[in-house]
Amino acid sequence: MGRARSGIITGLLLSMLAAGCQNKLYDQNKALYDENKELRDQNERLKLQPAVQQPAVVQQPVAPVVADTQPVAQETPEPKVVEQIGGLETTVNPRTGNTTVHLPSDVFFDPGQAMLKSSAKTSLDKVVAALKKKFVTRRIIVEGHTDKTPIRVSKWASNQELSEARADAVKQYLVAHGVEAGRINTKGYGEAKPRSPDLAKNRRVEIVVLTGT
């Protein structure tokens, strides 16, 4: 009887222990389940929330790189003053090599006229000698120039016509004194090619001896 009772008591204790363990496991499992469910619910809520938009980055316009195609301006070299021909200012263009004898119109012509003064012919004779000896076979351009003052009293209607007539008068003198006419061309520029702010320097005839034959 004692053993039977003891066995019953032992069985009860084991049952109670087993029940306690089961309850503990149940509680732990339930806690894990609840925690799992809460995490799933949070995850679903996050999925349903609208995505946070990042501020748009405004692209600043980039200026196109334009290649510099402008031609580089080159300075025109100043004519080089050389030994005078016939006592007249004489220059050489460093770029072309052309030689120019400058005849001031105020010395060679009366105002508004295209007839050579007698006093200027001595200098022209020396120019002729140089053209026939030093510059033999060279081509020549006789250029007439005026200042910008409009013509008021003259048989010439414009500065352009006056410049052409003066260039032709110098050519005729050169030809009359032995320079071949076929070597000489004339050109009148009027006031189009001023040489200086000084108007007197712009009134001129230039005998340009070209480098080529």
* The pLDDT of residue 135: 93
184, 157 in Cβ contact below 8 A? no
Strands (E) located in 38-136? 80-81, 90-92, 99-104
Residue 154 pLDDT class (50, 70, 90 cuts): confident
Per domain, the residue ranges of the chain are 1-44, 80-209
pLDDT of residue 2: 55
Fold of 80-209: 60s Ribosomal Protein L30; Chain: A; (3.30.1330)
Q: Is the pLDDT of residue 3 over 90?
A: no
Mean pLDDT of the chain: 82
pLDDT of 51: 53
pLDDT of residue 91: 96
Q: How far is CA 44 from CA 38, 49, 56, in A?
A: 10, 9, 28
pLDDT tens digit string along 8-26? Answer: 666 555 556 555 556 666 6
Concatenating the DSSP letter of every residue in 11-28 gives: HHHHHHHHHHHHHHHHHH
Overall average pLDDT of the 201-211 stretch? 96
Q: How many CA atoms lie within 13 A of 209 on its CB side?
A: 20
pLDDT score at 38: 76
Does 65 or 183 have the greater pLDDT score?
Answer: 183
What's the whole-number mean pLDDT along residues 35-52?
Answer: 68
